[in-house]
């Protein structure tokens, strides 16, 4: 039996010697490479924190001492050391989550995988311990240098510093990266801290220089004193933290268990707020990750463990189309600039950055700042394009509402991984955006259905200079092209089937393909159906309201919240127009979703074409006879649909 197989709880680590721990860390890395290669997941971050996690569990008594991970994708080692070594179905339904999960273990605290939150959690837990009289308990927050670029982390630091009698240990896992290398002033600050061991050597050089110039005297003494102060600020600027009242320990070799334990025990014994600065290497111990200069294998699909190459190469996807089209737009328009929040490559902006390096701004994990900074850029004559994962737009909602929309700023938001992303669990599904954005006055939102409409709608979005625009698309490979038969004003008509009663099936974005399947199923039952793609789904266009009024029943299909989503918006627009045609909406329920594949979630929520067709047929059967427009009126396509160029968003 290996050392790892004998670990069932953190206490089992404390009887191992340093040589045995070194064997254990190698076993953990081998396990991670083999397991994650089969399932996909976050490999690089976990390979980088093996020794750090072992040391944490040897020094602190979890779950009595609480360990909070930010963002949680580096918690695989923590899972292994707390009795969870079955990774066979990692990130699959019924298996382990890719993040900490309270349903899995009492050792887990924060399930939300959004960054920069751990320090606030730690502050709150420490305050609760104090109020409840729980003495002798520590709270540990493990936060990466990338997450420290988020403003929320600094708000928390400001408060943690006030609690000098509260034991909060902040472990800065400094690997110089988030997805990509960490940027900004904080990154330069941590770089300077990494050079701290050279501080005394530089001082000795300064002393020798002064001695060669003659007797020190008062002037030389003053010069040396000034040099010492300046060098401390530049070469060892831990004063940034200690000036807040937070003790600083480090930098520590994050792969030396003995050194880590000494530092962590000092921090624990201090009894107040302490920062332990650990230098780690993302992807450590796995050659393909160590030699990868892009993201150190931050997250992988199913790969060959020997080479790191994917088992099934990715098909050309939505992100790749955006990456191509934004470069083309950038070539035509020098005022177009791009922003992202520490995810330059994942959202497809790397090619734009390569061609226009002075027109790309990676702000770190700071979505709030990104949005308001973009408002300033728009005011000053640029057209910013902010590319984010859809789930992270939630973090900048107030800024979008009050800084962009209120000021009618021409800012385009491109939301990757919208709708159901599945495997990453509750916090990463991009299902909130349309319901949230529906509340923003003047905002216009497009949901492309295929490659051609993504390119067209992105061009239309950046042409709007007096309001925020949004273009959203899902994760993964592109679907087959779905050309329009014609157009009803600004609305694309995708399919027509004769029959009575007549149903209008409205597909939103990629769900238009499902809408076509619904209409085919209805046609097989003799029910007439027209399938449309509104293209610009928010606000609801007058053309869509007009078209809906010519049918007996409207069915909407979307991959956002069914509550307050696009279907709800269309229902409200019809009511405002005095039209009582019934609307049946199909989408995602307003609840947090367990990790599962997109296909499993679609089936669970009855969002397959066959499911919706069956429910629609039952709804048609329940329509009152007077509701059926079977009086010989011409089919919608015979009088209302016309071919036309790409429509502009409704103004």
Q: Which residues contact 436 (CB under 8 A, 6 or more apart)?
A: 393, 394, 397
Local structure of 322: helix, strand or coil? helix
β-strands 502-507, 553-561: how paired?
parallel
What tokens does 409 get?
């700023």
Q: Spell out where 157-307 has E strands.
A: 168-174, 247-253, 274-279
Distance CA 73, CA 115 (A): 10
Binding site for thiamine diphosphate: which residues? 73, 113-115, 146-147, 175, 286, 367
Distance CA 379, CA 508 (A): 32
Binding site for Mg(2+): which residues? 145, 175
Distance CA 451, CA 482 (A): 9
User: What does 272-285 look like in DSSP terms, one character per residue?
Assistant: S-EEEEEE--TTTT
Q: Which residues contact 297 (CB under 8 A, 6 or more apart)?
A: 43, 44, 47, 283, 286, 288, 289, 308
What tokens does 446 get?
């497009």
Tally Cβ neighbours within 10 Å of residue 542.
Answer: 13
Q: Which residues contact 243 (CB under 8 A, 6 or more apart)?
A: none
Adjacent-strand bridge partners of 140: 67, 169
CA-angle at 648, arms to 644 and 651, nearest 5°: 135
Distance CA 612, CA 619 (A): 10
What tokens does 338 get?
């791009």
Length reported for the chain: 651
* Cβ atoms of residues 547 and 640 within 8 Å: yes
Catalytic residue positions, numbered: 282, 367, 395
- Does a cis peptide bond (omega within 30 degrees of 0) precede residue 63? yes
Rg of the chain over all Cα atoms, to the nearest angstrom: 28
Quickly tell me which residue has 């025990």 as its tokens.
265
Local structure of 166: helix, strand or coil? coil
Local structure of 606: helix, strand or coil? coil
User: What does 37-78 look like in DSSP terms, one character per residue?
Assistant: HHH-B--HHHHTTHHHHHHHHHHS-TTTSEEEEESSTT-HHH
Question: Around 529, how many Cα atoms within 13 Å sit in the side-chain half-sphere?
Answer: 27
Distance CA 421, CA 242 (A): 42
Distance CA 564, CA 432 (A): 10
Q: DSSP letter at 605?
A: T
* Cβ atoms of residues 449 and 419 within 8 Å: no
Distance CA 382, CA 335 (A): 5
* Cβ atoms of residues 320 and 314 within 8 Å: no
β-strands 444-446, 536-538: how paired?
antiparallel
Burial class (CB in 10 A: 0-12, 13-18, 19+), 166: buried
* Cβ atoms of residues 507 and 453 within 8 Å: no
């Amino acid at each position: 039996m290996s050392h790892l197989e004998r670990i069932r709880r953190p206490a089992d680590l404390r009887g191992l010697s340093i040589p045995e721990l070194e064997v254990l860390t190698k076993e953990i890395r081998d396990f991670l490479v083999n397991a994650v290669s089969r399932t996909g997941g976050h490999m690089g971050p976990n390979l980088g924190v093996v020794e750090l996690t072992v040391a944490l569990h040897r020094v602190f008594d979890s779950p009595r001492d609480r360990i909070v991970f930010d963002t949680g994708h580096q918690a695989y080692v923590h899972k292994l050391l707390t009795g969870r070594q079955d990774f066979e179905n990692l990130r699959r339904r019924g298996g382990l989550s890719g993040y900490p999960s309270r349903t899995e273990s009492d050792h887990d605290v924060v399930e939300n995988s959004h960054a920069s939150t751990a320090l606030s959690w730690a502050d709150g837990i420490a305050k609760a311990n104090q109020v409840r009289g729980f003495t002798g308990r520590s709270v540990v927050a493990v936060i990466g240098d990338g997450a420290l670029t988020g403003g929320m982390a600094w708000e928390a630091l400001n408060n943690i510093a006030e609690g000098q009698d509260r034991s909060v240990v902040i472990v800065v896992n400094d690997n110089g990266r988030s997805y990509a290398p960490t940027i900004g002033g904080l990154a330069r600050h941590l770089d300077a801290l990494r050079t701290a061991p050279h501080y005394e050597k530089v001082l000795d050089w300064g002393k020798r220089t002064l001695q060669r110039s003659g007797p020190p005297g008062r002037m030389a003494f003053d010069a040396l004193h000034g040099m010492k102060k300046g060098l401390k600020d530049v070469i060892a600027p831990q004063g940034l933290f200690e000036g807040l009242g937070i003790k600083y320990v480090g930098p520590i070799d994050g792969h030396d268990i003995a050194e880590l334990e000494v530092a962590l025990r000092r921090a624990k014994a201090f009894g107040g707020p302490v920062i332990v600065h650990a230098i780690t290497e993302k992807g450590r111990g796995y050659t393909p990750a160590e030699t990868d200069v892009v993201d150190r294998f931050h997250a992988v699909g199913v790969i060959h463990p020997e080479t790191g190459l994917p088992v099934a190469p990715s098909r050309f996807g939505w992100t790749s189309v955006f990456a191509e089209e934004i470069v083309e737009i950038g070539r035509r328009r020098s005022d177009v600039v791009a922003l992202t929040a520490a995810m330059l490559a994942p959202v497809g902006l790397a090619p734009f950055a390569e061609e226009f390096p002075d027109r790309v701004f990676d702000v770190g994990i700071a979505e709030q700042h990104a949005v308001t900074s973009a408002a300033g850029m728009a005011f000053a004559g640029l057209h910013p394009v902010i590319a984010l994962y859809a789930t992270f737009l939630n973090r900048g909602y107030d800024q979008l509402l009050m800084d962009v929309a209120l000021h009618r700023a021409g800012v385009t938001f491109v939301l990757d991984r919208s709708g159901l992303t599945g495997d990453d669990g509750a916090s990463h599904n991009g299902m909130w955006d349309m319901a949230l954005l529906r509340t923003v006055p003047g905002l216009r939102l497009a949901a492309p259905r295929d490659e051609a409409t993504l390119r067209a709608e992105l061009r239309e979005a950046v042409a709007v200079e007096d309001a925020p625009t949004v273009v959203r698309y899902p994760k993964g490979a592109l679907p087959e092209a779905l050309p329009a038969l014609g157009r009803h004003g600004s609305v694309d008509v995708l399919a027509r089937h004769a029959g009575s009663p007549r149903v209008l099936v409205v597909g939103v974005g990629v769900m238009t393909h499902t809408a076509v399947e619904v209409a085919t199923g209805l046609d097989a039952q003799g029910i007439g159906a027209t399938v449309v793609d509104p293209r610009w789904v928010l606000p609801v266009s007058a053309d869509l309201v007009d078209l809906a009024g010519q049918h007996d029943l409207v069915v909407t299909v979307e991959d956002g919240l069914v509550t307050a989503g696009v279907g709800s918006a269309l229902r409200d627009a019809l009511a405002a127009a005095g039209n009582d045609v019934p609307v049946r909406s199909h989408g995602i329920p307003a609840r947090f979703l367990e990790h599962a594949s997109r296909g499993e979630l679609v089936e669970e929520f009855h969002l397959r074409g066959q499911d919706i067709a069956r429910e629609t047929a039952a709804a048609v059967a329940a329509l009152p006879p007077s509701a059926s427009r079977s009086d010989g009126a011409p089919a919608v396509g015979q009088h209302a649909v016309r071919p036309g160029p790409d429509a502009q968003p409704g103004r």
